[in-house]
Structure 1
Amino acid sequence: MTQPNKSMNEEQLAGHEGDDVLTSSVPEQIHPVVTEAHTLPEPKRIQRLSPQVSDKIAAGEVVERPAAVIKELVENAIDAGSTRIVVEVEQGGKKYIRVTDNGCGMNPEDVPLAFERHATSKVASIDDLVSLRTLGFRGEALSSIAAVSYLELTTRRQKDEEGLHMTLAGGRETDRRATSAAHGTTVVVKDLFFNTPARLKFMKSAASEAAYISDLMTKLALSHPGISFQFVLDKRLVFKTPGDDKVFSAAYATLERGLTRSLFEFSFENELVKVTGWASKIDYTRGNRNYQMTFVNGRYVKSRMTLDAIQYAYQGLLPGSRFPAVLLYLEIQPDACDVNIHPQKTEIKFEREDALRNFLSVELKRALEQRQQVPVKSFVAKPAFEPGPSAPVPALDSFNRPKSHTESPYNGINIRRDSSSSGTESTLGSDTKLNSVTGTKTESVSDTKTNLVTGTHTDSVTGTDLDPETDPSAISVTGTNSKNVPVTQTSNVSRESGSSYGGRDFTKHSEPIRFDSTLLENLVIPETRFAGLEEAARPTETAPTETLYDSARYVGQLFKSFLMYEKENHILLIDQHAAHEKILYARMKRDYERREVVRQLLVEPILIECDQATALLLGERSETLEKIGFTLEPFGETDFILREVPMLFDVPGTKRFFEQLKDKESAHELRAAAQKPIEDRLMSMACKAAVKSNDALTPFEAAQLIKELRTLESPYTCPHGRPLVVRMERQEIEKKFLRT
């Protein structure tokens, strides 16, 4: 209610008893709507759109470009039970598209009805939408295509003596007659968007549209390898698939040869889904995810969930800017997914998405670990690829696999023997060791250096390792004594210069160089991205039954940076820094994952300023953020105060995390984003602690390095995804000597 004008005294108010004083005393400018004339426009009448207008509007959603026309027509051909489909395109599909199939054909009486909106033979009731087995079901494709083009359709059922030919222009029928034709259906689309100049104006060049069509045809051919696809572009055959129901055959016909030589097959299933597919080894990578394709019940779909699963499976195997190729085929109950989201039917939602993501990630990673992921290097300009897919190698039971040094806490690197160290026979610094083979004792020399990997000591004059369990003259990966000669005692050797193996004098260090293991005691990786799921099947710490390093003979150290091994008809070159870095990273990560979440209190709390939408998002995800290790408190209506963060998070990294928070659509993406900075910090710590280039290693040190690599899940790449071992074939070396 409006209050009286304060300038009015009590007498004035008393003189207006019975009047509407409170209203009349208000200045006129407070009610401009009442005092000023304001004319409103006359509302337009609601009317029903004509079929021509409504069809063109609908066509804009379904027929986005020529590739969309081909997608709808080919999917209809697939639903008709075709075994052979021919697609012909000219000028990027803008002038001419022809799709021919040998399917069941159409009933002549149904042909005119097929060009009406929402007319279909694939769905009859609402219940049919939850049990779809066909690619098409919306009943919009033919009417939308016909509305914006000149269209011809010829069809005949196998039992009919003659077929039917029908032509339309802009959605209107212009001709219908009987004709002779092979059984099946042929659809010709000419002058696409001839009656919608606005859409035609923004069409890309013929070459660009042809590229979209080629990509689409590749996906369609891979989605149904049992159908023979023939793709003709501007009267030139692009590819033809055999239709033998083999994915590899379709991939070989449609994809580049370098990829097909690197593919290997995998399959696994549970009560939710049956998964088959082909994936590339690490010798083939791409700069984008274009070759990561997902097919659900024979339909190509775009799914962020499957991309996340693939990324997790290849984590640590490829550099961050490179991506693998994966053809992923899922067979799932139709009522467990929904494709009725967009007219193009490429988006999909899964009923139990978190469970599917976890299962795909773990099993695909296990399939990768069962194969030796080692790039083959050649002297020629182009890289040589390994032959086709190899037979799967069963995973080694965790109880039978070689024991890893990662099973024990990491105590750092000691590259110098402490002269005052002493202890029992099991202590690395002891002066006397018990030979486990002969039972005799071995005396240590006076001038030794400490093994960079294990802490054992080495003669500084000869460079031979003093561990009696290993013969330095014939060292192998397994560390066994090839000569089986008992070593009873070693004489002391002294040298004035004090120089050590490889010309380096490690005795000059006043203190051992160690990585402080106490740094790990209070640090922790937050809950993994797959934790907390009912169907969680956590990855096990298993290693392949066989590795490339088995039975390899040590040759020597190259440039004080690479370890050279000989095996059968090839040479292995191992980056010593990358190998040691991978071992240390595996230890550190394991230690983190075994501890509870530890938070660090910020000295100066961070103010998180949000708009209304982001504030609601933070409030919704507060429980997930708390589990990860962030402590947030409301500060005003939309802002928050951050008081605690997970260990290993710094202030800049924390700010970046919350800036990107609004882009994370699920709790899974939230956990993954929080895990990334911690993994980066672990990689940095492992890199700094590992042996470097120009560090001379003894044969025993090299053997111990390889021995630990054999126990890792992925012993062929460093934590950053770069290869730590390459293989050179004997034949390539012989070529350089003209011995081929």
Structure 2
Amino acid sequence: MSRTIRILPDTVANQIAAGEAVERPASAVKELTENALDANASRVEVAIERGGKRRIRVSDDGIGMGREDALLCLDRHATSKIQVAEDLTGVPTFGFRGEAIPSIAAVSRMSIETWNGRGEVGTRVQLNAGGISEVSDVARRRGTTVEVGNLFYNAPVRARFLKSVSAETRAVNEIVTALSLANPRVSFVLTSDDRVLLDLPTAEGPAVRIAQVWGSEHASALIPTSRDEDGFIVAGLIQRPDAARPGFRRSHLFVNGRPFRSPALVRAVERGYRTTIPQGVRPWLFLYLEVPGDQVDVNVHPAKSEVRFREQNRVEGLIEGAVRSALDDEASAATFDQPRGELPSAPHGIGKLEHVVKDTGTDSQMALFVPIASEDRGPDQSGVEGGSTRGGRAQPLPEPGARPRLWQMLDTYVLAETRDGILIVDQHAAHERILFQRLMDGFESGGQESQRLLFPLTLKLTAPEVAM
């Protein structure tokens, strides 16, 4: 009787494994970059072509490998990260399964160049669909370079499901960005089709790295937050309520140095913002968790992008409390500083012209204007009219208390006839000047009634400004 169950060949098994560990080019970049970081690299260079479909190249200056290790890393479940099952508890490295390199090699044409600093030359290994085609010597600096060409060339079904070049490039960019945030003391370079997308030198901390990636304008709108409860620590940066906007947001979570996704923890952050931002606003967040190794399981997802906490509610409460505590601090208050390139919108609802001319009782201030003749005054005596000017006739000096001849255009400008021509006034600017004068008058007279703002504004003054 013939058997119906059979053991799959290694090539087929590796392609199946590649479907779990290598979903798209960004997945290969993630695995290779994590290997570089596990090798204690201080600089990682990533280069892709056509979103990684044609070529991926990851180079590092880490500890490198000898020839035996370079060949052994191509076997499934060959790893230097763990030795026994107990090592999975609190594993400190990104990788630990020993599946990434053989899985990627099974669906591509791969080349590995490496040198560990011992011996005169390094090792180059070339593979095609997981099979070794050549092993040779190579002269290179210490570290490792892995080049992947024609990803999924022998898995056409998987290749057809890849997205456009721009979409795959964005996915790679997001992976490298997340790993750079997790490792600010490592420099990263990402190029796409010879175009530099990221060039990040080493940074002192997350705030500097965020400024390198998205600019100092966004980084300056973040405030620090931290909380420590019995060995559970959260620290990071969240966005000031006044700077938060609806739509897309940056949310990055890390646990023990590892990036991960968790909608539940993001919702915990949003609960911490409750009553401080309108509904639909999505603040940026960059949170770094440190928990005991036996309190988190990182081996729950093929791509290691999700984790499981033993005390999920405790972690959520820790994050929510940290956000609330940060928002209670003075640093969370709005400032008068405007981000560079973003201008404040003009106030709406400014009504018709009111009290543009302030009667100070000084007749000399009115001598510039042409007064309203008695026959021009309408029943409302408003002094604002829509008729034309009187030309060619000498006008007498205005009587004390007389109002000038005024017109309004487009609900924006005020026109006043003078003895030598016409004066155009921006009523918005004039209204602001009047309000400013009222505030100054009130300040000189001992102050006026005030009301505390819902979101207090913090105004930072220099020493000379304080002395004024």
Kept in 2: contact 1:226–1:246 (CA 8 A): yes
2:123 aligned residue (164, 171, 174):
164
Give the corresponding residue for 2:70.
111
2:33 matches 1:74? yes
Residue 331 of structure 1, CA deviation: 1.5
Residue 100 of structure 1, CA deviation: 0.5
Give the corresponding residue for 1:373.
333
2:150 aligned residue (154, 177, 191):
191
Give the corresponding residue for 1:127.
86
Distance 1:66 1:351 in 2: 32
2:23 aligned residue (54, 64, 71):
64
Give the corresponding residue for 2:299.
340
Give the corresponding residue for 2:271.
312
CA distance change for structure 1 residues 324 and 207 in 2, over 3 Å: closer, same or farther?
Answer: same
Give the corresponding residue for 1:382.
342
What do residues 228-282 of structure 1 show as CA deviations (whole Å, max 9, x unaligned)? 1111111122222221342122111112443112122233322132222112112
1:278 aligned residue (224, 227, 237):
237
1:323 aligned residue (242, 265, 282):
282
Kept in 1: contact 2:90–2:296 (CA 8 A): no
Residue 151 of structure 1, CA deviation: 0.3
Most deviating of 314-323 and 375-384: 375-384
CA distance change for structure 1 residues 367 and 52 in 2, over 3 Å: closer, same or farther?
Answer: same
CA distance change for structure 1 residues 379 and 48 in 2, over 3 Å: closer, same or farther?
Answer: closer
2:262 aligned residue (296, 303, 316):
303
Residue 215 of structure 1, CA deviation: 1.1
CA distance change for structure 1 residues 250 and 379 in 2, over 3 Å: closer, same or farther?
Answer: closer
Kept in 1: contact 2:225–2:325 (CA 8 A): no
Give the corresponding residue for 1:248.
207
Q: Which amino acid aligns with 1:224?
A: N
Give the corresponding residue for 1:656.
none
Distance 1:382 1:726 in 2: 18
Residue 57 of structure 1, CA deviation: 0.7
Give the corresponding residue for 2:412.
none
Kept in 1: contact 2:181–2:210 (CA 8 A): yes
CA distance change for structure 1 residues 380 and 341 in 2, over 3 Å: closer, same or farther?
Answer: closer
Which residues in structure 2 correspond to 1:75-224 (within 5 Å)? 75-224=34-183
1:356 aligned residue (315, 319, 326):
315
Distance 2:34 2:438 in 1: 54
Residue 217 of structure 1, CA deviation: 1.1
RMSD: 2.9
Q: Which amino acid aligns with 1:373?
A: A
Give the corresponding residue for 2:387.
none
1:168 partner SS: strand
2:289 partner SS: strand
Residue 378 of structure 1, CA deviation: 6.5
Distance 1:290 1:230 in 2: 23
Residue 213 of structure 1, CA deviation: 0.8
Residue 159 of structure 1, CA deviation: 2.7
What do residues 188-215 of structure 1 show as CA deviations (whole Å, max 9, x unaligned)? 0000000001011111111110011111
TM-score, structure 1 length as denominator?
Answer: 0.47
2:282 partner SS: coil
Give the corresponding residue for 2:385.
none
CA distance change for structure 1 residues 379 and 262 in 2, over 3 Å: closer, same or farther?
Answer: closer
What do residues 50-105 of structure 1 show as CA deviations (whole Å, max 9, x unaligned)? 11111111100111000000000000001001111111111100001110001111
- Equivalent pairs counted in the alignment come to 367
CA distance change for structure 1 residues 90 and 565 in 2, over 3 Å: closer, same or farther?
Answer: farther
Name segments (4+ residues, structure 1) moved above 6 Å: 377-381, 562-567, 725-730
Most deviating of 370-379 and 289-298: 370-379
Kept in 2: contact 1:294–1:302 (CA 8 A): yes
Give the corresponding residue for 2:382.
none
Give the corresponding residue for 1:479.
none
Which residues in structure 2 correspond to 1:13-24 (within 5 Å)? none
Residue 356 of structure 1, CA deviation: 1.7
CA distance change for structure 1 residues 369 and 177 in 2, over 3 Å: closer, same or farther?
Answer: same
2:191 partner SS: strand
Q: Which amino acid aligns with 1:89?
A: I
CA distance change for structure 1 residues 356 and 564 in 2, over 3 Å: closer, same or farther?
Answer: farther
2:217 aligned residue (252, 258, 277):
258
2:36 partner SS: helix
CA distance change for structure 1 residues 565 and 205 in 2, over 3 Å: closer, same or farther?
Answer: farther
Residue 126 of structure 1, CA deviation: 0.7
TM-score, structure 2 length as denominator?
Answer: 0.73
Q: Which runs of 5+ in 1 are unaligned?
A: 1-41, 386-557, 568-698, 710-714, 717-724, 731-740
Distance 1:565 1:317 in 2: 31
Q: Which amino acid aligns with 1:335?
A: D
Distance 2:21 2:338 in 1: 49
Larger radius of gyration: 1
2:198 aligned residue (204, 216, 239):
239
What do residues 158-204 of structure 1 show as CA deviations (whole Å, max 9, x unaligned)? 23321000000000000001111110000000000000010111111
1:56 partner SS: helix
Residue 729 of structure 1, CA deviation: 11
Q: Which amino acid aligns with 2:333?
A: Q
2:181 matches 1:228? no
Residue 383 of structure 1, CA deviation: 3.4
Residue 305 of structure 1, CA deviation: 3.5
Q: Which amino acid aligns with 1:99?
A: V
CA distance change for structure 1 residues 269 and 201 in 2, over 3 Å: closer, same or farther?
Answer: same
Distance 1:234 1:564 in 2: 59
Kept in 2: contact 1:376–1:383 (CA 8 A): no
Which residues in structure 2 correspond to 1:460-539 (within 5 Å)? none
2:189 partner SS: strand
